[in-house]
Amino acid sequence: MLFSKPLPNELAVGHLYRIWVLNEYGGSDHYNQSLVFSRATKMLRPAGCAHPWTAKHTHAILAYFSGLSETEYRTRHTLLALTKHWRSISDQTPVKETKVPVYSFANFYSESTSASYPFKFCQYCREQDLLAYGMSYWHREHHLPGVDICPIHEVALCQVSWRQAYTTPNPATLEGEQLDEALMQANMHPILSRYRALVLRATNEATHIQYGNAHKHLLERLVKLGLYKKNPSHHCIYTYLKNDLPKYIYTHTPSIWLDRHFSPDYRELTTPTAQVDKFNYHMELNQIEFLGNIKPPLLLLMLAAIFDSTEDIYKLLFTSNPPNGDHATKLA
Ligand SMILES: [Zn+2]
């Protein structure tokens, strides 16, 4: 079996595809290739290994051959910090891929234009990779939901389809479709610049995140701004009836960006007379009382939309001290 360790900040699914290509595992069924891999390496399972050596634990097996713990591999290479499974990053018990999709992306809307071209690369990063490693790879920071530019070089990313990436884990000569210049300019909008900084830091510092704390402050600020109004005739805790945040977000962020990442339904909400059926729009933007209903990228976008200072949001979102092993407590 040929193996190659993941490169810095390499996207886990790109690493996975490289192992398949190196070992000439044919076909296009992710699960079947994982099955062949786990069977071919079963005799190498170390004594006392905590996780089963099966296709449902492929990332744990890749972590073992990479010299990383299962949690280190998830922390450094997946986008789980931006999904509803963010707590699983630090799980000390084995994580089954049938329950926690460790290779998944974190789109705002699964049917969006953006989601149909999930893989992206930056031409400048690629040149640097070729100099440093003699090859290039799929970077995690180029796959942040809603981010169309390289966070390092601030140039438009090139996009390719899933199938192209599947057979090309080293995109050194791949010709991607360059994203539109106007979309690139939209990404420089202040709300989207703040959002980009937040989503990048949340990915890179996943074990410091306090989504619960940030959510509490989000609700307080929405009430203060008059975007979330309480019904004066009720006194129980969940009596907020009028939520103007969806409309605020849809009218304060560039439409070219919304068109790419959201459902086209958002446009109806931006017209002054529209009667809104909340079930036709992003549920998470309507059910903001309950943190568990909100996808992390939407929470980060809401914070970026209603706070002016990225530094202020950092204080709400991250613990000031590095975690000392009790990750579950820090994430809660
Ligand atoms: Zn770059």
Cα of 18 from ligand 1 centre, angstroms: 21
Q: DSSP H helical segments within the chain, as ranges?
A: 12-22, 30-40, 58-66, 70-77, 123-133, 162-167, 181-186, 190-204, 211-224, 245-252, 255-261, 266-269, 283-286, 296-306, 310-317, 327-331
Measure Cα distances from 22 to 2, 6, 98, 163, 236 in Å. Answer: 6, 13, 25, 17, 60
Identify residues whose C-beta is under 5 A from ligand 1, the ion: 122, 124-125, 150, 152-153
List the structure tokens of 315: 């204080």
Q: How confident is the model at residue 280 (pLDDT cuts 50, 70, 90)?
A: low
Cα of 250 from ligand 1 centre, angstroms: 28
Cα of 119 from ligand 1 centre, angstroms: 14
pLDDT tens-digit series, residues 159-173: 998 888 888 889 999
Cα of 153 from ligand 1 centre, angstroms: 4
Domain residue ranges in the chain: 12-90, 114-186, 204-331
Q: What is the pLDDT of residue 330?
A: 38
Cα of 77 from ligand 1 centre, angstroms: 17
Q: Give the largest Cα separation in the chain, rounded.
A: 68
Q: How confident is the model at residue 237 (pLDDT cuts 50, 70, 90)?
A: low
- Which residue has better confidence, 317 or 286? 317
For the cut 90, the answer to whether the pLDDT of residue 26 exceeds it is: no
> Please, how many CA atoms are within 13 Å of residue 32, restricted to the half-sphere of its CB?
5
Q: Helix-strand-coil percent breakdown of the chain, rounded to 5?
A: 50, 5, 45
Cα of 158 from ligand 1 centre, angstroms: 11
Cα of 157 from ligand 1 centre, angstroms: 8
Distance (Å, whole) CA 138 – CA 131: 16
> Please, how many CA atoms are within 13 Å of residue 205, restricted to the half-sphere of its CB?
19
Q: How confident is the model at residue 242 (pLDDT cuts 50, 70, 90)?
A: confident
Sequence-ordered list of residues with C-beta below 8 angstroms from that of 240, at least 6 positions apart, any chain: 223, 228, 229, 230, 231, 289
List the structure tokens of 250: 């849809």
Cα of 129 from ligand 1 centre, angstroms: 10
Q: Quick one: average pLDDT of 196-225?
A: 95
pLDDT tens-digit series, residues 131-151: 999 999 999 999 999 999 999
Q: Is 9 left (phi over 0), alpha (psi -120 to 50) or beta?
A: left
pLDDT tens-digit series, residues 167-206: 888 999 999 898 889 999 999 999 999 999 999 999 999 9
Q: How confident is the model at residue 321 (pLDDT cuts 50, 70, 90)?
A: low
Closest-CA residue to 77 (of 135, 25, 127, 19): 19
| CA-angle at 133, arms to 106 and 161, nearest 5° | 35
- H or E element at residue 119: strand 119-121
